[in-house]
Amino acid sequence: MLGSEEMAWTHRYWEQVQEGDDLPVATRDITRVDVIAMAFAARDFLPPLHIDHEVAQEAGLKDVNVNIIATGGLIGKYLTDWSGSEGRLKRMEYRLSVSVFPGDTLTQNGRVLKKYVEGDELLVDVEYSFSVPDGLHAWGTATLVLPALDTGSRLS
Partner 1 sequence: MSGNLYQSLKSLEGGESELRTGNDRVNDAMIRHWCEAMQDANPLYTDKDYAENSCWKRIIAPPTMVQAYCTPPLWPKIETNPDPVFLAVRTCVEAGYCSSLGVSMSYEFLHPLHPGDQVMYKIKLLSVTPEKSTRVGTGHFLAAAYSYCNDKDVPVCRQVLTVFQYCPHIQVVH
Among 17, 23, 49, 126, binds partner 1 (CB under 8 A): 49
Can residue 69 be called a binding residue for partner 1 (CB under 8 A)?
yes
Number of residues that bind partner 1 (CB under 8 A): 52
Burial of 156 (0-12, 13-18, 19+ CB in 10 A): exposed
Among 15, 31, 32, 57, binds partner 1 (CB under 8 A): 57
Taking a C-beta distance cutoff of 8 angstroms, is the pair 23, 128 a contact?
yes
Can residue 153 be called a binding residue for partner 1 (CB under 8 A)?
yes
Can residue 95 be called a binding residue for partner 1 (CB under 8 A)?
yes
Q: How far is CA 95 from CA 18, 141, 147, in A?
A: 25, 10, 28
* Residue 117: partners with Cβ closer than 8 Å, 6 or more residues away: 123
Instruction: Choose between 16 and 85: whose C-beta lies nearer to partner 1.
Output: 85
Can residue 47 be called a binding residue for partner 1 (CB under 8 A)?
yes
Stretch that binds partner 1, among 15-23, 40-48, 101-109, 113-121 (CB under 8 A): 40-48
The H-or-E segment that residue 79 falls in is: helix 68-83
- The Cβ-side half-sphere exposure at 117, using a 13 Å CA radius, reads 7
Q: What type of residue is 11?
A: H
Can residue 31 be called a binding residue for partner 1 (CB under 8 A)?
no
Residues that bind partner 1 in the complex, under the rule CB under 8 A: 1-3, 5-7, 9, 28, 34, 37-38, 40-47, 49, 57-61, 67-77, 80-81, 85-86, 88-96, 153, 155-156
